Structure 1
Amino acid sequence: MDAAETAQTLIELTRLEAQVAELKGRVAAHADDLRVGQEVGASSAASWLAHTTNTTRPAAAGTVKLGHALEAHPLTRDALAHGDVLLDQARVIVHAVDQLPGGLDAQRAEAHLLAEAQHHDAKALRVLGKRLFEVIAPDEADAREAAVLEAEENAAAKACHLSMYDDGHGKTRGRFTIPTIAGAHLRKILLAAITNTKDPAPRPTPERLGQALCDFIARYPKNKLPHTGGLPATLLVLIDEDSLQGRVEKAGVLDTGEKISPALARRLACEAEIIPLVLGGDSMPLDIGRGRRLHTKAQRYALLARDHGCRADGCDRTHSLHAHHKTRWADGGHTNVKDAVTLCHWHHQRAHDASYETTYLPNGDVTFHRRQ
């Protein structure tokens, strides 16, 4: 292709991406309405889509959410379906219109932003979306703005949000949203931590703030940790004795599945309580038969060390896990590690749901299928 053909092809491909995004969102919303994935125990159509297509859960949930949002905004849906606006522009338009209070001409506001989308990208549209009052209700603009600001302040405490993910290269990334007062408090704590370093004139660079946050997490009082699944929210590091003693170099494994270097594991061992864990050995009471129904703390640690998260096929949850008897206690099951498996709250409910058939696979995974 020559330069002109290449340029035109890129433009057409960009329009095609928008059209496919609209179609995908529409079908995903329909799948959510039909509760696709329920027959295999998926908690939602988005979870099923993520597992089946190897899509990240946030991306799959975003597709379903977009499909439902476009149902309420047919003008934007049609524009996206024809490739007249891009996906990020459509998201901005839908969000801006949804923020308008009742009683205003939302359709007129949507049409205005769609027209502006022909001349502005998503970033500029976001700014224009905050000034819709000046277009559709200019006489009320000031009063409306004051009301919006007050509503935002009142809702700040409910807007808390935190998302984190491991990038697979030794780093965890994330984003959070907290009220201004909480943000100011956190910043003051981190700045104080930086000031207490040996540097006579420390600068609050992003790197220093990140290091201060890590120190704050590591030094959180142990006696104030919340409990989940019968255990304190303590990070469990699994490492062979030979590696701990430095005789071999073998990576340590966290109970959440991530790996760390043996050097880091040994450094943590110098500062933390060491709990010896011998799976299947005599060092811990891992099998207490029918003596009690609930699993002991030692058994729960052993299960975390073995399973590294919920063992339901396709589930990636690694926190707030339950110890589940494969053979029900009421049916004569024993409280031990061999006859137990870790499941998240959702899949633990499925395991006790008579409408599902539960299958325990040889590799330790658990599958669920709705009974006919």
Structure 2
Amino acid sequence: MHAVADLGGAAESLTAGDLDWLVQQAQTLANRHDRVRVRALDVVRQAREAGRARHDDDAQYTAGRTRTDVRQMGRDAGLAERLGNHQPALAAPGGTGAGTAGSSTDAPGATAAPQQTPAAQAWDEGAITRAHALVITGALDDLPEELSAEQRLEAERILVAKAGRMKPAALRREARRILHDLGFSEREADAHHNELVRSEEDAAWAAARFWMTDRGDGTVHGQFTLPVLQGRMLAKALQAMTSPRHLAHKQRAAQQTAGTGTGTGTADSGTGMPGAGAQGTTTAPGGSWKDHQFDWAHERGKALAELIDHLPTDQLGSKVNAILLVTTDLETLRGETDRAGVTDTGDEISAGQVRRLASNAGIIPVVMGGDSLPLDLGRQERFFTQAQRTALATRYTSCAEEHCDRPFSWCEIHHDIPWAPVRGPGGRILDPGGGRTDLANAIPLCGRHHRRLSDPEVTHTTERQDDGTAVVRFHRRGEPEPTRRPAGAPGERPRQPGRSQQAREATPGSIQ
């Protein structure tokens, strides 16, 4: 402690190498002390089994005397028994511990003493954390029963080596593919991986709970436990509806409606605007949402109520209301192989779950391989197809208006260049139309912003980003136009021959 305090007093003289050494050594010490604590739990177990203690539950006994969480102690008690409390192996010269499972003593005729497993030895040395040890022991428990002791030992060595360069979350993903590292075929590794994910999903469904009660004051209180897939789908929708940009945009719109908004704000990243605080207060014109603290629980509660308002009660037996991208392959969708899919939130779902959701249109399957669908229809069709919506969903997650985070599933597809001529007062043609029903001309807009295109008091500009996606910006007529890229700049939507960019930007535009 004194040495670390001394280093803090001389912080101005430390180099990057010094800091790296400090945090590495501190973590090693923390890991080794954590291992001592877990070893002590195994001593408690052995004393109880020997009749030297009267308690019935090691976790409760330890948690009660150390004032710690009984659930964590329960996991640690199981981990202690799994790794054992054998004598640490001697460290190899210039390297890590040399303890090898199954090695014998040097004395002739001596009985081989129980040896540390690779995971226990690595933890003794402080090379891995408690979280790593939990992942490794769990993965070993999940191995197929027919594997030999040698194969299990090799799997543990591989996982310990990976743990030295990975965080626990990454190690958990790698552990599910351990059969591939052991030389099994891709199909066998896929089947094992998928079975682990499927079992986890079954347990999650078994744990699903929901309850609510009427408080009698106009509110309902409840609590739920969901499988991670459905939890992510709900979280994505609520997070999109309650992002700071979206909340600030709603506040500005409300002020404009009430006639109180006089400024557009100057915060960076285009988000500066009158903002709403946790109590509904607003900033002065030019303020930013960053100047206030939002009551996020309150905002998400309101968003959940709004989300429920949009539930398609006439379609509860078919489509799911959220868009979730799942990367899979054509063979899995056909049922020819069982390979776990990966969602755009980084979660794994079993092949059966992929096929179930795909059949209900609950996901947009991003299929690697297979025949492509016709996505460019030119002038043959006026309305965009479901296949085109599917393709567009891989590029957009929300409305294309610069401040709007309404999820893509709530959006309508707008023709950037109108399909039909746009007429103004007196029948004057403001835009000749002629736009194609192609992906390059498709922009997702929520209902509010799609309708705003027809507002005669508002005009808009469309800017293409480097990845080809569009950003739509609205401003009132007569106000200075927002800064945009010069003509011909990379990422700008190409002009149509014979059409002035100024006319395109000033067009109030009917909904296309």
Q: When the two structures are superposed, what TM-score results if normalisation uses the length of structure 2?
A: 0.31
Higher relative contact order (CA 8 A, sep 6+): 1
Pick the structure with more helix per residue: 1
Give TM-score scaled by structure 1 length: 0.41
Indicate the structure (1 or 2) with the bigger Cα radius of gyration: 2
